Amino acid sequence: MPNILVLNAGSSSYKLALYTIDKASIAHPQKPIWNCDYTWKEGAPTGHLSTFYNGKTLSNTTAPKHEPKSTLKTLLKQMVSCGAINDLTSIDIVGHRVVHGASAFTTPTLITPDVKAKIKSLSPLAPLHNPANLAGIEIIESLIPIAKQAAVFDTAFHSTLPEAASTYPGPYKWKEIGIKRYGFHGISHHYISLRCAELLKRDVNELNIISCHLGNGCSLAAISKGKSIDTTMGFTPLDGMMMGSRPGALDPGILTYLEQQKFASADSLFTTLNFNSGLQGISGTTSDMRDILKQRKEGHPRAALAFDMFCHSLRRNIGAMAGILNPIDALVFTAGIGENSTAIRAAGSLALIPMGAHLDVEKNQNNKPDTLISSQDSTIPILIIKTEEDWLIACACQSLFSG
Binding site for ligand ADP (CB under 6 A): 215-217, 244, 288-290, 293, 335-337, 340-341
CA angle 208, 211, 334 (to 5 degrees): 145
Smallest gap from residue 283 Cβ to ligand ADP (A): 12
Residue closer to ligand ADP by CB (options 65, 290) is 290
Contact 228, 204 (CB under 8 A): no
Q: Which lies closer to ligand ADP via its Cβ, residue 175 or residue 302? A: 302
Q: What's the 3-state SS for 184-208? A: CCHHHHHHHHHHHHHHHCCCHHHCE
Distances (CA, A) of 333 to 35, 232, 277, 361: 24, 15, 23, 15
Minimum distance, C-beta of residue 86 to ligand ADP, in the bound complex (Å): 31
Q: Nearest-CB residue to ligand ADP?
A: 336
Alpha carbon distance 77, 88 (integer Å): 9
CB nearer to ligand ADP: pick between 77 and 290: 290
Q: How does DSSP classify residue 180?
A: B
Minimal distance, residue 185 CB to ligand ADP, in Å: 8
Q: Which is nearer to ligand ADP, 216 or 272 (CB)?
A: 216
* CA distance between the termini of the chain: 13
In the complex, least distance from residue 391 CB atom to ligand ADP, rounded to whole angstroms: 14
- Nearer to ligand ADP (CB atom), residue 13 or residue 20: 13
Query: Is residue 186 within 8 Å of residue 157, measured between CB atoms?
Result: yes
- In 308-328, which positions are buried (b, 16+ CB within 10 angstroms) versus exposed (e)? ebbbebbbbbbebbbebbeeb
E strand intervals along 99-147: 109-110
- Spatial distance between the Cα atoms of 207 and 224, rounded to a whole number of angstroms: 6
* Nearest approach, Cβ of residue 366 and ligand ADP (Å): 13
- The single-letter code of the amino acid at 355 is M
The catalytic residue among 22, 92, 154, 239 is 154
Dist. CA 257–CA 251, nearest whole Å: 10
Q: Say if residue 343 is exposed, middle or buried (CB neighbours under 10 Å; 0-12, 13-18, 19+).
A: middle
CA distances from 386 to 177, 360, 392 (A): 37, 19, 12
Asked about 154 being catalytic, the answer comes back as yes
State the CB neighbour count (10 A cutoff) for residue 167: 15
Q: How far is the CB of 374 from ligand ADP (least distance, A)?
A: 20
Q: To the nearest whole angstrom, how small is the minimum distance from the Cβ of residue 206 to ligand ADP? A: 29
Cβ distance to ligand ADP smaller for residue 106 or 286: 286
Pairwise CA distance, residues 85 & 92, whole Å? 12
- The sign one gets for the Cα dihedral 99, 101, 102, 108 is negative
Catalytic amino acids? 154
